[in-house]
């Protein structure tokens, strides 16, 4: 019997590889697939346009930039998306806009560096939804540019507390719900700075190297619970995150490119685990 990615969500999964010879691989599951597609053996039937129907997805840092693009992508795939950030008015407005457009979304304030706030958020998820299938940790800060020996300890703390400790807090709050849901997918938005040295951004780079290590280890711990932990490491993305001085905005990756990678992760077949995506711009920006 196949392992199911989001059993509770009753997610139908069909993976079609439209290769030159029209090779069609269909991974079928029980649940609502038959209701949606009728005869599932027919490879010419259209792909499910709402493959995440019934899934609950949490996105931290969902109010702008990469997180916002991921929120829109997951909502478009049919998930009910809970987006968070420190700017409560902003996340609530985005959720209202998405709801007005026929999607399902909720905006909640949650500062990922505050363990109490994250715990309260977890309890809210438990009470409201009882389950979570997808967690995207996108909240992050860059901190000041400069040499490590000149970095103020307070800046070190906020970078590490947001980019690394915050992910641990979220995992602590959400994983029990995922286990209760029978499985899930955690996606951590890291950076190529978590793969390479980054002079004048050492604390940021260290936070992302740490995040990669956290992700690889948590993936091993959680695979027995049918939970995949993936990490996405983009190069420079055209957001307000930093000035990206000297780089061409057009050549840079766009937020939607990262959202596209997330889509690939959450729609893969249940037996497949893409653990890491390194995302570079085609041309050097
Ligand atoms: P933005 O600055 O556009 O957005 C950052 C988001 O994080 C905001 O929504 C912000 O919301 C949220 N955030 C920051 N601190 C906290 C906190 N303590 N608690 C909750 N939310 C918080 O950045 P990007 O969208 O570009 O970056 C998203 C992720 O992608 C980050 O982890 C970043 O490291 C990573 N990344 C970015 C790249 C880039 O070039 N842009 C390249 C590679 C990786 P609010 O202020 O309302 O709390």
Domain 52-279 falls under CATH 3.40.120.10: no
Q: Which residue has the higher pLDDT, 13 or 211?
A: 211
Residues 82-101: what's their mean pLDDT? Answer: 98
Contact assessment for residue 133 and residue 55, using Cβ atoms and an 8 Å cutoff: yes
Going from the Cα of 165 to the center of ligand 1, the distance in angstroms, rounded, reads 14
Q: E strand or H helix at 232, and its extent?
A: strand 227-234
Residues 165-176: what's their mean pLDDT? Answer: 98
| pLDDT exceeds cutoff 50 at 14 | no
Going from the Cα of 274 to the center of ligand 1, the distance in angstroms, rounded, reads 23
| pLDDT exceeds cutoff 80 at 2 | no
Q: Which residue has the higher pLDDT, 47 or 220?
A: 220
Residue with the smallest CA separation from ligand 1 atom 41 is 237
| pLDDT exceeds cutoff 50 at 194 | yes
- State if residue 141 touches ligand 1 by the CB under 6 angstroms criterion: yes
| pLDDT exceeds cutoff 70 at 39 | no
SS3 156: helix
Q: Lowest mean pLDDT: which of 10-14, 73-77, 186-190, 248-252? A: 10-14
Contact assessment for residue 189 and residue 66, using Cβ atoms and an 8 Å cutoff: yes
Give the model's pLDDT for residue 10: 55
Going from the Cα of 62 to the center of ligand 1, the distance in angstroms, rounded, reads 8
Residue with the smallest CA separation from ligand 1 atom 13 is 139
| pLDDT exceeds cutoff 90 at 116 | yes
Q: Residue 253: pLDDT band by 50, 70, 90 thresholds? A: very high
Residues 15-22: what's their mean pLDDT? Answer: 32
DSSP string, 57-93: EEEETTTSHHHHHHHHHHHHTT-EEEEEES-HHHHHH
Give the model's pLDDT for residue 38: 32
Domain map (residue ranges) of the chain: 52-279
Q: Residue 43: pLDDT band by 50, 70, 90 thresholds? A: low
Contact assessment for residue 80 and residue 55, using Cβ atoms and an 8 Å cutoff: yes
pTM: 0.89
CB under 8 Å to 52, separation ≥6 — which residues? 6, 9, 11, 74, 77, 78, 79, 133, 134, 266, 267
| pLDDT exceeds cutoff 90 at 32 | no
State the chain's mean pLDDT as an integer: 88
Q: How far apart are CA 155 and CA 145, in angstroms?
A: 11
Contact assessment for residue 41 and residue 34, using Cβ atoms and an 8 Å cutoff: no
Give the model's pLDDT for residue 36: 28
Give the model's pLDDT for residue 12: 44
- The verdict on whether 204 is a catalytic residue reads yes
- State if residue 239 touches ligand 1 by the CB under 6 angstroms criterion: yes
Strands (E), 144-226: 184-189
| pLDDT exceeds cutoff 60 at 13 | no
Residues 184-189: what's their mean pLDDT? Answer: 98
């Amino acid at each position: 019997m196949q392992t199911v990615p989001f059993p509770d969500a009753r997610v139908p999964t069909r993976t079609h590889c439209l290769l030159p010879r029209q090779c069609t691989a269909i991974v079928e599951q029980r649940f609502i697939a038959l209701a949606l597609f009728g005869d599932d053996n027919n490879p010419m039937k259209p792909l499910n346009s709402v493959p995440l129907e019934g899934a609950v997805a949490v996105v931290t840092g969902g109010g702008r930039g990469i997180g916002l693009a991921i929120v829109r992508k997951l909502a478009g795939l049919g998930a009910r998306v809970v987006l968070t950030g420190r700017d409560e008015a902003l996340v609530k407005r985005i959720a209202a806009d998405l709801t007005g457009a026929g999607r399902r979304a909720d905006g909640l304030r949650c500062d990922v560096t505050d363990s109490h706030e994250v715990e309260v958020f977890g309890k809210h998820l438990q009470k409201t939804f009882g389950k979570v299938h997808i967690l995207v940790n996108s909240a992050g800060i860059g901190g000041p540019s400069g040499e490590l020996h000149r970095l103020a300890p307070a800046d070190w703390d906020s970078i590490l507390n947001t980019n690394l400790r915050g992910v641990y807090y979220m995992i602590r709050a959400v994983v029990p719900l995922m286990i209760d849901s029978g499985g899930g997918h955690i996606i951590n938005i890291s950076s190529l700075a978590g793969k390479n040295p980054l002079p004048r951004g050492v604390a940021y780079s260290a936070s992302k190297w740490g995040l990669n290590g956290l992700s690889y280890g948590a993936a091993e711990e959680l695979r027995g619970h049918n939970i995949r932990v993936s990490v996405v490491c983009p190069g420079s993305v055209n957001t307000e995150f930093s000035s990206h001085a000297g780089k061409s905005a057009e050549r840079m990756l766009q937020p939607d490119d990262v959202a596209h990678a997330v889509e690939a992760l959450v729609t893969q077949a249940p037996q497949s685990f893409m653990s890491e995506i390194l995302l570079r711009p085609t041309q050097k920006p």
